[in-house]
A and B are shown apart, each in its own frame.
Chain A
Amino acid sequence: MQEEQDFIKELLNPKTQNDAFQKLLRQYQRPLYSHIRTIVLNHDDTDDVLQNTFIKVFRNLQNFKRESKLFSWMYRIATNEAISFITSKAKRNGMTSEAFQQKQIENIKADSYFEGDEIQLKLQKAVALLPEKQQLVFKMKYFQELKYEEISEILGTSVGGLKASYFHAVKKIEEYVTRN
């Protein structure tokens, strides 16, 4: 905890800010990339959203409330940026977010940065059919392997609520994969 407090001080101090921020970038770029990618699905969009996320983090460092962890705060920003991105892209295409994501998944085999086998593809399709909240919880728990407590901090949902969401998500996925 103290280590994090010291790091936050470095991030807020103009003299040490640049070096500290570069350290932050190197530490969180991969997990945040994975998190965003599971939501927006293709690499180029993920690259855009990831950049926007870090820029937003930089701009809002002064507003960071130290009650929450740096990690949760950044993940929350990443999640919001990714969902906003999907929503506006879906809107531009005249679709709901869910319909848009399903369409993205149908085309995912053509994506040069997707090398999934049959089961991976089926799983992606099954997840895309879930309601938005369940999708998010499933992706964070299953693909990102975050703890329920961490997900709770990021999404602001209770651990109990998250467990229920995850349970329902898994059931639906299993039904889909069994049928298909």
Chain B
Amino acid sequence: MKDFKLDNHPKINSGFQVPDSYFDSFPDKVMMQLPEKESKVISIFRNKKVWITSAAAVLILALMIPFFNPSTVEEPQLDSTAIENYLSYNTNISQYELANLLDKNDLEKLETDINIEDKTIEDILISNNNFENYIID
């Protein structure tokens, strides 16, 4: 077998091929990846940390807004019974003053048919010391 001698053999190329126009586009490909020239004025907003901190501060303020707003919650509707109870138990308004506040319509509404036995009426009059109030002039 004939010994292979590298020097005696014509130059053997690597066999590697390069895609067409690879070298045409390569310089631009690299230039696009290079860092841009930094301007002299460095905006604080280039700093990621500033963005994150600012966002966090805004979020905290936003969450606190409800606590500073006056309450716009609707007040619960008080029914007339609750108001009456309050007035009777918590105030010093006399029955006379209350009666003065009632107008004719209110009085008509208050009128009900009460079926009371005469005996019951007698008992009330006897027990009540202020029965003169019931004598209508």
Contacts and interface: CB of A to CB of B under 8 A. Distances in A.
A123 interface: yes
Contacts of A21: 31, 34
B12 interface: yes
B37 interface: yes
B4 A121 contact: no
B17 A114 contact: yes
B3 A178 contact: yes
Contacts, number: 78
Interface in A73-127: 108, 113-117, 119-121, 123-124
A30 interface: yes
Contact of A18 (B1, B31, B33): B31
Contacts of B26: 25, 29, 50
Interface in B1-47: 1-7, 9, 12-19, 22-23, 26-27, 29-31, 33-34, 37
**Chain B interface mostly helix, strand, loop or mixed?**
loop
A37 interface: yes
B30 A55 contact: yes
B127 to A, nearest CB: 105
A116 B13 CA distance: 8
B31 to A, nearest CB: 6
Interface residues of B, number: 26
Contacts of A43: 16-19
Interface residues of A, number: 38
Interface stretch (A1-9, A129-137, A146-154, A169-177): A169-177
A174 B12 contact: no
Given A51-B29, A55-B34, A174 B15 contact: no
A38 B13 CA distance: 11
Interface string A24-57: 0110011001100110010100010011001100
A174 B4 contact: yes
A43 to B, nearest CB: 7
A131 B134 CA distance: 128
A14 B37 contact: yes
Given A51-B33, A58-B34, A174-B5, A113 B27 contact: no
Interface of B: 1-7, 9, 12-19, 22-23, 26-27, 29-31, 33-34, 37
17 contacts: A29-B23, A34-B16, A37-B14, A38-B14, A41-B16, A43-B18, A43-B19, A51-B33, A55-B33, A55-B34, A108-B15, A116-B15, A119-B9, A142-B6, A170-B6, A174-B6, A178-B1
